[in-house]
Structure 1
């Protein structure tokens, strides 16, 4: 379960993304335009410490882009290369925002969903003055995601170090035996996104639908 707050964010998520995304090699669109949010989905951190959210955005008239974020209450040691920035949350205080491909909590969550046939987290909105969540309202997700795997499938641990690199339209994260491919430009050709090493099991996928996208679209590929 993902608990959301009716909070003020400074800067906003889209403001942070608008400054950071054009500096990335996978960016496509108008670098001078503030990105607009199209849809989003979340995963749950079992420890309740890290916010995990993936946004589908556009920059001006450009293509649909996928930006996966994690939100933390303190800096993640060794993850400076993936730090997008910080923002002030009117309920939770200062938050460190990371490109999620470098965060082991995100990699664990997306790997679990893909390999076990999981879904996005249920979302509930709590009042800004109600951190205990005594009054929560369910929020309908704007994106429906589902993994291609089966319930009960084994999920390998996220190895160390986490290494990332970019290929056309995608970002690839490797961590030990784990390989996670995040499709960045939705609809773009990504020739390597389903490549597995010869001794690895076939890759699992995370596919999604959202308003305007009725047929499942592959967003993430996981090889373990």
Structure 2
């Protein structure tokens, strides 16, 4: 299980995201986001080398608040070939310098997300060590395994991770709160991950974070 260090980070994660988010095609706010951490979960790297966090942040800089899903991978050294996915670097009070990457481009994070959907990993609380996340719901696909040889594509709605067989693992980046608090997986989804977050007005919202659709499994 990953250990959560309650220590200093310079710059803070939200500072890095404030600079990085406006460069994303799916970002919908003003030139300078006004962010607050609103929820999320962590996954464990079996090798213990990479920190994996799926953070939900809310932005109130635009005409109406928007929640974003931001998968982040934290490493103790640069990830070769992933310069385009670097969110920024931080100085961690315990671990020293850390490189934070858009996790959709990090093979360890992607592998563990696949493991979560296939039932081989468990979502963890983002703030407490060795504690399962309480508000993450996973609908697992039928038999077969999902390739981790994925092509990453960003668009205005989010990020698509596509296998050679055409199966797509789709991550919502701007999150859509479920009507009446009852989320429904997208039509044709064969598996999904859903969760909740805190809206700027203090209420709880929930919706689908990621889902599988199309193509065929190995």
TM score, norm. by length of structure 2:
0.79
* Aligned residues of 1:170 and 1:184 also touching (Cα < 8 A): yes
Distance 1:58 1:71, change over 3 A: same
Residue of structure 1 equivalent to 2:190: 203
Residue of structure 1 equivalent to 2:135: 144
How far the C-alpha of 1:170 sits from its partner, in A, is 1.4
2:76 to 50, 65, 73: 73
1:182 matched to 2:185: no
Residue of structure 2 equivalent to 1:222: 212
Residue of structure 1 equivalent to 2:181: none
How far the C-alpha of 1:2 sits from its partner, in A, is 2.5
The separation in 2 between residues aligned to 1:64 and 1:97, in whole angstroms, is: 20
The unaligned stretches of length 5 or more in structure 2 are: 179-184
Residue of structure 2 equivalent to 1:171: 159
How far the C-alpha of 1:156 sits from its partner, in A, is 3.5
The separation in 2 between residues aligned to 1:179 and 1:209, in whole angstroms, is: 23
How far the C-alpha of 1:45 sits from its partner, in A, is 0.6
RMSD of aligned Cα (Å): 2.9
Secondary structure of the structure 2 residue equivalent to 1:75? coil
The separation in 2 between residues aligned to 1:36 and 1:122, in whole angstroms, is: 18
1:155 matched to 2:155: no
Moved more, 108-117 or 87-96: 108-117
Structure having the larger proportion of residues in strand: 1
CA distances 1:152-177 after superposition (whole Å, capped 9, x unpaired): 95533412xx4322233211123544
TM score, norm. by length of structure 1:
0.77
Secondary structure of the structure 2 residue equivalent to 1:5? coil
Q: Paired residues, what number?
A: 200
The separation in 2 between residues aligned to 1:94 and 1:30, in whole angstroms, is: 30
